Structure 1
């Protein structure tokens, strides 16, 4: 195409805030890349250019200078200005490819991008009975803002690239906290700070399992964990959960040579049961004998409403096979994206190096602010305050269920966590009830959502719902229960 015609048609809009030379630069670059101005095309002298477009010569000179600096134009005084031959012809002549012609993902890549397809995400404003959510407005954001601002005002060398393991003062404080509250046996050198527990689970699945290795997964269980196992190419083996937690004997009988077991022993998701001592000892014995890893996901142990928090599984490990994974999403707020792993000493350095590959290190200022938040006592006060608040909301939900829906639902364990599981007394269909709830403005998570699609009949559990309560005010809980009562009573 004639260069003069192309230039005369370049779109410029004087009403925009973007300077004209920037608009001209962008329009010419687009024309070069789409082939309208082909490699080797001579451009008009700047004065002639100004006659084609009503712009100043300085505007043209500035645009030419940017394009030359980036390699799109070439030229010299007395010879003229040309579209650079360094712009490859295939790029200049490229046309949008049809979807069928796109290069396919690798099999591993396909596994990664499809692994989370069935995991539910929160995509709307908060409503009853959203699961996995703390009450965000209870968090002292004014305190957090002050702590972060103090760090921003005093930047130092630690604002550069840091230790992939995380901010050392934070790891030291977490070490003290975990020893006191969960009985975790560790040193700061065993702790790795991650961008949420999901990153921790991905790292562990990736470096501990080879493609094809078997891994035990609770069923029903946390789909985000099974997603990371599948993304790593593992063969996920669903193991049933009963009133004592993971059925270790079933796993040992049907998949004895698994390389890893994922468990939530303190508060099983979604059933809410705690793993009994005989099951814990059996799991640790199996792992030690088969040289397998156990990933203990302790996602909400801070919120236990009857008695002291249970001791961690890691505290009972004598073979160095348990990796303890924790998150601050349920204690502080999910958007913070801070979690951690406590690794056996022999594994810690490998996890640090793996963390460095993924994102070098977690953002430093939130780690610094959290260290100050803990050191100044805000963390302990916040946990006490939210535990009391959550216990009150749990009581509202339990009383409401007894009052409105005792003939329709019965509850599972309700001594800890941010939600409780309620089973149908009748023959309601989970998915139908869930869809009906959304139509009436409430979220009802079916227990079937947590079942592994490849699980055997041994993993079947009664139909029911997981009902979140921690993020809701008392009137929101009661309003939601009235809607749920109407739905289950067919009104």
Structure 2
């Protein structure tokens, strides 16, 4: 790769070269440790004498900006002077807006690979050992062959027809969703689906109704778009529909496995919610994030399957069934917002990665996804049962579980006064990742406790981890 230096005319060649190299180092374009081309090669590229380049390198080395390493070449000195003062956020005209974004909390940010603890009870994450590597590799190889056969043009913003067809069949079978291929838009995870819907439905100052406690990343997204988020309490039947205010444009709910508490929305509450949304002229976002995994009771269909008036947008993801890093999700759109969301998708990122789309389409159509879900269901059911046994046993003096029948996390509420912050800090020192429940409460009275995920922790690690938690609880009383 050539070093970007522009020499004009035939005068002051050494001065031009010196000034440009010095500016590149001072600005950071040539980073500390970067290797410069050999003097002979750079001279040939610029059409100047080698002596001009060598003299310039020598001057910059004398000034401490470059360092020569015998047998290796010339490098930017790691201790080169830093660039001068640049504008900070407070200097900019958009300072207030930047501060708003910077102040948004990140309660569900996952740890990096390096900061992951020995025992992780984090929610929304899966065990890499469960991922079907061989089947996915075959599907990816097939996807590469398909891409090689195509013309190299951009793809459709709504997603590949093969994947939309596979998704439609899968969610009709597993969740009772009523849709055609043309109702689906493929997104980069469920979070992008929420973003696209919010973009076309909301304006600054409009009202979004959300469950409280609820999914904080959705709340923060709506607030960042200037919406007023109305917190609506939940009870054992789900969102209290009568609390949805007049003027609401968007209603965000998790009816199959309420986030974070876990209970399903009752049939009567679902019917009331659909009627309320129709009366308000509001769109409902049904976030069905992990309901493929169900452990007891009769299966419940999606809210979308009950919708006869076109008010529900069904949002799903493959982050929970496969891997979060794949960044593949989808939305089933009602006719009223379909065209607008497709235009927003095209303007946002043109389309999601076709490599992953082709691979997932084959993965679903070949039956690998259902096989994988069934295999994971058995594993998760065992982990869930063991955690429930411990919470009903030696951990029962401190916690009680909120009843839930789906997903791969549960909420454990404190039965006695307890410093959750201290518990989490001490658990981290012991290599156990615990996560608080209170961060998902906003206006509703906080119910202290833990959100306990069992997707990422191995089954044999559950008892050793909970033994450590029990010992800490006994220590802090």
What TM-score range do you get, normalising by the shorter chain? 0.7 to 0.9
Task: Please name the residue that 2:474 is paired with.
Answer: 489
Structure with the greater alpha carbon radius of gyration: 1
Contact preservation (8 Å) 2:263, 2:405: no
Structure 1 residues 149-188: aligned runs within 5 Å = 149-154=141-146, 155-157=148-150, 159-188=152-181
TM-score, with length taken from structure 2 = 0.82
Distance of 1:47 and 1:22 partners within structure 2: 5
Call closer, same or farther: CA 1:47–1:312 in 2, change over 3 Å. closer
Where structure 1 has 5 or more consecutive residues not aligned to the other structure, the ranges are 29-43, 56-93
**Alignment map for 1:158-307 (pairs within 5 Å):** 159-251=152-244, 255-307=245-297
User: Does 2:124 match 1:132?
Assistant: yes
1:361 matched to which residue of 2? 351
Offset at 1:52? 2.8
Q: For 1:413-452, list aligned pairs within 5 A.
A: 413-452=403-442
Q: Deviation at 1:136? A: 2.0
Aligned partner of 1:467 among 436, 452, 457? 452
Contact 2:39-2:53 within 8 A present in 1 as well:
no
The separation in 1 between residues aligned to 2:105 and 2:193, in whole angstroms, is 16
- Picking from 480, 485, 491, the partner of 2:465 is 480
Please give the residue correspondences for 1:45-64 in structure 2 after superposition, counting only pairs within 5 Å.
Answer: 46=49, 49=52, 52=55
Residue 128 of structure 1: how far off its partner (Å) = 2.7
Following superposition, the deviation at residue 218 of structure 1 comes to 1.0
CA distance in 2, matches of 1:416, 1:228: 26
Counterpart Cα distance in 2 of 1:151 and 1:173: 15
Residue 80 of structure 2 corresponds to: none
Tell me, yes or no, if the aligned pair for 1:220 and 1:450 is still in contact at 8 Å: yes
Of 20, 33, 45, 2:38 maps to 20
Which of residues 102, 119, 140 in structure 2 aligns to 1:148?
A: 140
TM-score by length of 1: 0.80
1:416 shift after superposition: 1.3
Instruction: Report 1:62-141 matches (<5 A).
Output: 95-99=84-88, 102-105=91-94, 111-123=100-112, 124-125=115-116, 127-141=119-133
Unpaired runs of 5+ residues, structure 2, are 1-11, 26-32, 59-82
Residue pair 2:176, 2:305 contacting (<8 A) in 1 also: yes
Distance 1:128 1:374 in 2: 29
Residue 21 (structure 1) shift: 5.7
Cα distance in 2, alignment partners of residues 472 and 313 from structure 1: 31
- Where 2:120 maps in the other structure, the secondary structure is coil
- The superposition leaves residues 375-421 of structure 1 with CA deviations (integer Å, 9 ceiling, x where unpaired) of 11111100100011100111111122223212111111142111111
Distance across 1 between alignment mates of 2:399 and 2:306: 36
Q: CA deviation at 1:308?
A: 4.8
What are the Cα deviations for residues 107-130 of structure 1, in whole angstroms up to 9, with x where unaligned? 556545544544433232253312
Give the distance between the partners of 1:199 and 1:16, measured in 2 at CA.
37
**1:265 CA displacement:** 0.3
RMSD after superposition: 2.9
Is the CA contact (8 Å cut-off) linking 2:143 and 2:356 kept in structure 1?
A: no
Distance 1:23 1:225, change over 3 A: farther
